[in-house]
Structure 1
Amino acid sequence: MTIRRSAAAVGAVAFGLFALSACTKPTPLATVTVGKTSVHTEAACYDNGKSLSTADFTKCLNSTPSETVDVSSGDTVHVGVDPAIADKGWVVVVDQQGASGRLTSTYHTFSPDLVNQFFTDSSTGQQKTKVTLTIVENSGAQSYQGVWHFALQLKG
């Protein structure tokens, strides 16, 4: 190998290491699947697995979802999380109301009957056309590590 090639190889390796050091670690992903449609999102709030402050957690709960998935009456909704989320535990909240107990698996499925309940206002009985499904990483004892949001839009 010539000196030029050796120098180029060393330069490429050094540049690659520099580029990798500038990268930030991505947040774990959460996924919602309805039928053949899947949408993924990174966390609205996440601090590398550390507990969020009460103020940050409250602010995150009220943030707007970045991803929307269409849901029809009779659809099943599947929610999946990265193993890093499942290891600590997580809950599903729909429009600020608990929709699951604490989960430790990487996925959870909501039946069509339960999904239909998501779109029914419990106080008026009126049908809603859009709800926010929120995933909260929760290691227990009111310790929250991350928040992920999805909008579920009721079709026709």
Structure 2
Amino acid sequence: MTTMQSAVRRRRAVAAAGAVSAGLLVLSACDKPTPRVTVTVGSHSVSAEAKCYDDGKDIGRQEATKCALKKASDGIEVPQSETLRIGVDPEIADTGWALWINGQQVTSVYKKTYYSFQGVDLFADQQGQAAPKTLYISIVQQNKAAQSNEFKGVWNFKLQNADA
């Protein structure tokens, strides 16, 4: 083997090693996925990553409320009086989570990975107003401790009234 051939092989080996290193560097720069929340009605489910999340750090009530008001694109149809099931990653359940509607907390804080709201009529007529065709809900990760005001993430979903 000539010196020229060895030099070419060495350059190719160095180039290949450089390409692999560059690929690993690009992959390591990718954002880590957020924990997921899944909403299920009947046999249909929709799952989403957080709308607002800072790797488990406190984002504060104001930011959580602002995020809960953002409209979701992930949606599911909900027939009247159907059971709404919510599943969260264990990381979310460890802190605690609550169901919010239109930026307002409507349940206490749960520390379960799964909760079902039996026969809930989310689309009931409200004080003489017709039932909405679309409702936006949020799952908000918040600390259950009585003295805590820690909010760590918000997952938004669009519920469509199947009976409208």
TM-score (norm 2): 0.79
- 2:132 aligned with 1:128, yes or no? yes
Deviation at 1:42, TM superposition (A): 1.3
- 2:30 aligned with 1:30, yes or no? no
Counterpart in 1 of 2:3? none
CA RMSD of aligned residues (A): 2.2
Task: Give the distance between the partners of 1:5 and 1:86, measured in 2 at CA.
Answer: 51
- 2:100 aligned with 1:93, yes or no? yes
Task: Provide the secondary structure at the position in 1 that maps to 2:109.
Answer: coil
Unmatched 5+ stretches in structure 1: none
Deviation at 1:40, TM superposition (A): 1.1
Deviates more, 1:25-34 or 1:96-105: 96-105
Question: How many percent of aligned residue pairs carry the same amino acid?
Answer: 39
Deviates more, 1:69-78 or 1:125-134: 125-134
Q: Is the 8 A contact 1:41 1:66 kept in 2?
A: no
Task: Give the distance between the partners of 1:74 and 1:132, measured in 2 at CA.
Answer: 17
Q: Is the 8 A contact 2:136 2:158 kept in 1?
A: yes
Deviation at 1:105, TM superposition (A): 1.2
Tell me the number of residue pairs that the alignment of Structure 1 and Structure 2 aligns. 152
Q: Is the 8 A contact 1:30 1:40 kept in 2?
A: yes
Deviation at 1:16, TM superposition (A): 3.8
Instruction: Choose 1 or 2 for highest CA Rg.
Output: 2
Counterpart AA for 2:123: F
Unmatched 5+ stretches in structure 2: 1-8
